[in-house]
Chains A and B, each alone.
Chain A
Amino acid sequence: MSKTSVRLGVDIGGTFTDVVLEVADQSFSTKVLTTYAAPENAIIAGMHQVCAKAGISPDQIDQIIHGTTLATNALIERRGAKTALITTEGFRDVIEMRTESRFEQYDLNLTLPEPLLPRQRRYTLLERVDARGGVLIPLDRSQVETLADQIGEAGYDSVAVGLIHSYLNDAHERMIREVLAEKLPDVMVSLSCEVSPQMREYERFNTTVANAYIKPLMKSYLGRLKGRLRDEGADCDVFLMHSGGGIISLESAAEFPVRLVESGPAGGAVFAAHIAARYGLEKVLSFDMGGTTAKICLIKNQTPKTSRVFEVARTYRFKKGSGMPISIPVIDMVEIGAGGGSLAHVDALRQIRVGPESAGSEPGPACYGRGGEKPAVTDADLVLGRLDPDTFAGGAIQLHADRAEAALRTHLGADLEMDAPTAAFGLAEVVDENMANAARVHAVENGEDLSEYTMIAFGGAAPLHAGRLCEKLGVDRLLVPPGAGVGSAIGFLRAPFSFEANRSVYMKLSDFDAAKIKGLLSDLKAESEGFVRSCDARSDILCEFKVYMRYTGQGWEIPIVLSAAQAMAPEAETFKTLFEQDYTKLFGRTVAGLDIEITVWSVNATTPPDPVLREETTSGTLQAPVDAERQMFDPAQAAFLTTSVVQRAAMTVGAEVAGPAAITEDETTIIVPESRRAIRQPDGCIDVIRKG
């Protein structure tokens, strides 16, 4: 896309709709309250605001990129359409029986989340495909017609079709769609072989049901949005950010709306990836901490780590297993209940526990003085001297240190025989350790050593905690970019057009068929490139080839990246070497004497990222002007230290301040621990580096 184009990024969040307009090198942003009944209204209002700021009219906008939590929220709040599931006879209850296990082993009163569709909305057909894709029981068309009549009479808006082993043979699912299209042309249909063609029926069916469930809502919304934008003069292309961090067409988003789930946080990861590119960083940990949750993502080679399954709508303290599995390409993030508003208590083991309960914005942490009595993370930050009570949120909220101290003393100190600062120290250490643990587990699952990483932090609470997190994780460098408040919407504008084409085809290395592989990967390449070409007629297109491999008999694969040359002239020996290298890195040793197999083939086509100006990293050339000094607690030193307070705005390029320091701005405060120093970079990032 050309440098001169005018582009609008829009992120609909739970509270705010963020709008960013980029005109040439200039950027204009605004935040408007999300309008739940008709979310497009907030977009139109925001668009007019930024257009006015930029002095342009909406018809000058060339392209709009949009991400939204609407899909996620519809799933969490169960506001989807009247949806039916059609499945194989004998498997009506797959989405209800889940894994037949309890995600919390010790709770005798545990309740499991209800499936999206109650049992009376699940229908079966006599048919069966086996594990080799062969047909055991053919599907009788008249049986489908009878069921279609029933579905028509019941007045369903949307139908999900999920049949056993359809990822190997989709003929029956397609016949069902054909019949439904003939008999019930107004009913929307989602097939599991298209939405999520992967083995494991529970995940596949559930993903398809989720897609069908939100499809009428999202299709209608996207249609209205397009119309309203046109009416307001913005008759340009509208694209959607998807969960995997790429961009898809509005039509494709309307067909597969489940791919929009978590597109907002995905935008944040793309934002961080873009900064990584600007600094030429190969390994980055993005850390996004807001009021209620923190999200952590690994970004390697300036590309966020992706995964093929995740869980939405966790119902039980963010606990793994308590939500719904969705298997689609997704930016692989860990989300934990740790934000500025997260509340602390003392448990039976006399340990401090933090979150996932949050004080929210009402009543808020105790220090807001709005009736909150329990200590929150922000209360600890205040008592430890990290926040200035008079300038919080640009002075919009006066903080009360006495209330924070009282909450800490009453709810933590009394049980643990600690004074307020020690309790605050404990609270902050626990929440930081929770986040560090989440990051570590995530890194291990991906075979990564975080000490080689740079952290990029954004979101209101992240800069307060990122420095300590770096100490805990052995990370030497932290970047805090400007504009972090609307990071996701900026990220949308940085995202490439991309499409990942996948196929499940099993092949053992002992039956390696180079010609077949070449054909398969070429087909996938053509499919993914074709899609990207339809979004952008001129740009170069890059392709990444990936195969998922495992020892024959294992249930989980590891992704192996192939170069174009390796993909187009495949050799068994190369595949084996690449697999063994990665396997050893992840798990310590290879297994002797076993065959290796490939299960999934994937090609991701993408436009190249915007060319980024590589910013020179300057070492500190001048002292940043110190505004004031105050006492701030340094956890690594376990003591209060005299700390420099510096205004971010007053730091010119190359200005440096040594920790302990607090760099303040309206939205947040960057804490520089005693072990670090901070330098202002030419692009406005604050670079927090380990001393020495």
Chain B
Amino acid sequence: MTQPSNVAYQVMWNRLISAVEEQAQALVRTAFSTSVREAGDLSAGVYDTQGRMLAQAVTGTPGHVNAMADAVAHFIRRIGRQNIFPGDVYITNDPWEGTGHLHDITMVTPSFHNDVLVGFFACTAHVVDIGGRGFGADANSVYEEGLYLPIMKFAERGTVDETMIRIIRGNVREPDQLVGDIYALASCNEIGHRRLTAMMAEFGLDNLDGIAGYILENSRRATLERINALPHAEASGEMTVDGFDTPITLRVQLSIEKDRILSDFDGTTGLDKKGINCPLVYTKAYACYALKCAIAPEIPNNAASLAPFEVTAPENSIVHALHPAPVALRHIVGHFVPDVVYAALDQILPGVVPAEGAGCLCNFQVSLRPRSDAPAPADAVRSEVLTFNSGGSGARPAHDGLNATAFPSGVMTMPIEATEHAGPVIIWRKELRPDSGGLGTYRGGLGQVMEVGARDGHEFDISAMFDRVDHPARGRRGGTAGAPTTIAQDDGTPMRGKGKQFIPHDRRVQMAFPGGAGYGDPQARDKSLVRRDLLRGYISPETARDAYGMSEADIARIETARKSGDER
């Protein structure tokens, strides 16, 4: 056949992107875990026969980006090309060959067109339970963190491996949910495959070589143009966060060179004893995400557009944890990577990147069970409930930070009504946290407060996954820090920011999630924004007066306006 025109290639590229979006959509529609179906913690992509990622759905999780990009090559190597058949579906949750922890299941499906292997579809989703100690920081090695599924076949020539399903069912707390999610992942690849083969038939393609070359070459060139327009420079950034028992310092040396940007994490703290260590693949994902946002936001993710962003770190530093380090909460360190990268980038490109924000998602998982201190009612049950929540994002050079909005993660929170259907948990409060945004010409985003308990007759363990208790987000260019995380029981019993903690019957956990930091001198803040913030209750009268110099008369006037629901 003749070489397709550039116009035809453009059409095919769009078509592939739309195919992976459909693939992701199918996963949301069929998934069981609230983390997938409500929060969108998933990703989906299409690959050529060499395992090079050609297109990826824009979903909630930049953390899956690079990890997924590398995963398919591991599958090809482990399964062996001679063992790849039509109707096959492969699975793994290997933290180092998948996406960083056992709770992410990655599934890969080879795509055959006219009996010839033409590519692969892969997808990843975060499941609520994988057995072991349960989702949390408490394990001392990956062996304690749950069931490990090496790269293997979930289905061969269309037949599901029932033995594997039985092993999985026998090792996890919510077997129906997990097996349902595995089927959902398989379905979603099937949808992508159907779309790809229809496209190949329409354009008369026998393979993806031409379109792959077109996508990768255009992406590579566009990315390099952006990088080469930057000054060649070096800068370093550093940030210290809570860690589990001892603080962690993340350090990066950023070098912008011809045709590449290197992020070197030399000098970063070593492994933690507990499960907050991060495999390099996940560190790389977030370093790359941070740089792409600032430098080349509109270039889609694929093997070529990601390649110029190189990341190195010393082995067994906390950003390059090797097997068998515990890694369940690798997202905590991973989510802080952009703030560290921006500390460096801000010196090279001032006025582009935000101040520090809440950083890591404010997640917790509750393991509910019938009360043990007194007879439990007959309908009391055991259940695992996971929630994702966000603090405030950092203020930007010309905008306030976003209130209770995830950055760098992009997952959604679950509706509390859906969460309460997932188990006997009660979310008593989930609302904005006034005065938690750092002060500045632009204010940091507000964090949020949450209060969680159990239905009558239940007690629970809460697995806390919070940081910024002792190390709040730092302001930029005169902006001040955001409010730190706090956590305690409703009777005042203090609690830790990380780890599994028991909550007796009738007690609740009260949490306040961190605010983003401010940007620029607070005195330079537009007075009308200060008035708006006070009117809405984003800030207290004390803050308006002490930090922004608002007069008592103005404060009194705004308090009156608030009572009558005025807009200004």
Contacts and interface: CB of A to CB of B under 8 A. Distances in A.
Interface of A: 82, 84, 89-94, 96-97, 99-102, 105-112, 118-121, 128, 130-131, 136, 150, 153-156, 164-165, 199-202, 347-352, 416, 422, 425-426, 429-430, 433-434, 437, 440-441, 444-445, 472, 474, 551-556, 586-589, 591-595, 638
A587 B177 contact: no
Contact of B187 (A105, A112, A589): A589
Interface stretch (B248-256, B260-268, B406-414): B406-414
B22 A348 contact: no
B420 A102 contact: no
B133 interface: no
Given A556-B30, A587-B29, 15 more contacts: A91-B430, A94-B431, A96-B403, A97-B448, A99-B413, A100-B405, A200-B415, A349-B298, A433-B11, A433-B14, A474-B202, A553-B180, A555-B418, A556-B28, A638-B5
B455 interface: yes
Given A111-B399, A201-B415, A201-B417, A153 B538 contact: no
Given A102-B402, A437-B18, A200 B418 contact: yes
Contact of B7 (A202, A425, A554, A556): A425
Interface in B1-51: 5-7, 10-11, 13-15, 18, 21-22, 25-26, 28-32, 34, 37-38, 40
Contacts of B398: 109
B536 A199 contact: no
Given A120-B535, A199-B421, A441-B18, A154 B565 contact: yes
Interface of B: 5-7, 10-11, 13-15, 18, 21-22, 25-26, 28-32, 34, 37-38, 40, 58, 60, 62, 160, 176-177, 179-180, 183-184, 186-187, 190-191, 195, 202, 218-219, 221-222, 225-226, 292-294, 296-300, 352-354, 388-390, 396, 398-399, 402-407, 410-413, 415-418, 420-421, 426-432, 448, 451, 455, 535-538, 561-567
26 contacts: A90-B429, A97-B448, A99-B413, A100-B388, A100-B404, A102-B405, A102-B407, A102-B410, A108-B354, A119-B538, A130-B426, A130-B455, A155-B565, A200-B417, A426-B7, A434-B14, A437-B18, A444-B25, A444-B26, A444-B195, A553-B32, A553-B180, A554-B37, A588-B191, A589-B190, A591-B184
A551 B538 contact: no
A595 to B, nearest CB: 8
Contact of A106 (B14, B160, B176, B292): B292
A444 B22 contact: yes
A201 B354 CA distance: 31
A347 B21 CA distance: 21
B142 to A, nearest CB: 27
A443 B195 CA distance: 12
Nearest to B22: A444
B353 A108 contact: yes
Given A91-B430, A348-B225, A101 B31 contact: no
Given A106-B292, A433-B15, A441 B407 contact: no
Given A119-B537, A131-B421, A429 B407 contact: no
B564 A154 contact: yes
A106 B293 contact: yes
B380 to A, nearest CB: 13
A136 B191 contact: no
Given A93-B431, A591-B180, A100 B412 contact: yes
A70 B432 CA distance: 33
Contacts of A121: 565
Nearest to A111: B399
Contact of B412 (A99, A586, A587): A99
A429 B535 contact: no
Given A131-B420, A552-B176, A349 B219 contact: yes
A173 B457 CA distance: 27
B179 A591 contact: yes
B22 A587 contact: no
Contacts of B10: 351-352, 426, 429-430, 433
- Tell me what chain A mostly uses at the interface: helix, strand, loop, or mixed: loop
Nearest to A445: B25
B553 to A, nearest CB: 19
B300 to A, nearest CB: 8
Contact of A102 (B14, B300, B406, B415): B406
B21 A441 contact: yes
Which 7 A-B residue pairs are closest in the complex by CB-CB distance?
A: A90-B429, A555-B37, A106-B297, A99-B412, A131-B420, A119-B536, A588-B190
A164 to B, nearest CB: 7
Contacts of B451: 90
Contacts, number: 238
Contacts of B388: 100
Nearest to A423: B7
A491 B32 CA distance: 40
Nearest to B537: A119
B109 to A, nearest CB: 11
Given A90-B451, A108-B354, A441 B294 contact: no
B180 A440 contact: no
Nearest to A198: B417
Contacts of B390: 100-101
Contacts of B298: 106, 347-349
A474 B21 CA distance: 21
Contacts of A351: 10, 13, 218
A417 to B, nearest CB: 10
A110 B354 CA distance: 11
A93 to B, nearest CB: 4
B379 to A, nearest CB: 10
Contacts of B536: 118-120
A89 B427 CA distance: 11
Contacts of B299: 348-349
A109 B402 contact: no
B432 A101 contact: no
Nearest to B404: A97
Contacts of B14: 430, 433-434, 437
Nearest to A167: B417
A354 to B, nearest CB: 11
Contacts of B410: 101-102, 105
A349 B416 CA distance: 41
Contacts of B399: 109, 111
A92 to B, nearest CB: 5
A575 B201 CA distance: 37
B448 A202 contact: no
B222 A350 contact: yes
A91 B417 contact: no
B449 to A, nearest CB: 9
Which of A107, A120, A347, A586 has most chain B Cβ within 10 Å? Answer: A120
A349 B183 contact: no
A422 B10 CA distance: 13
Nearest to B187: A587
Given A553-B177, A553-B180, A349 B218 contact: yes
Contacts of B562: 120
A445 to B, nearest CB: 6
Given A106-B293, A348-B298, A437-B15, A120 B28 contact: no
B61 to A, nearest CB: 9
B479 to A, nearest CB: 16
A587 B407 CA distance: 32
Contacts of A105: 58, 62, 293, 410
Contacts of A350: 218, 221-222
A349 B224 CA distance: 11
B32 A112 contact: no
Contacts of A89: 429
Contacts of A591: 179-180, 183-184
A588 B29 CA distance: 13
A240 to B, nearest CB: 30
B30 A554 contact: yes
A106 B452 CA distance: 32
A551 B406 contact: no
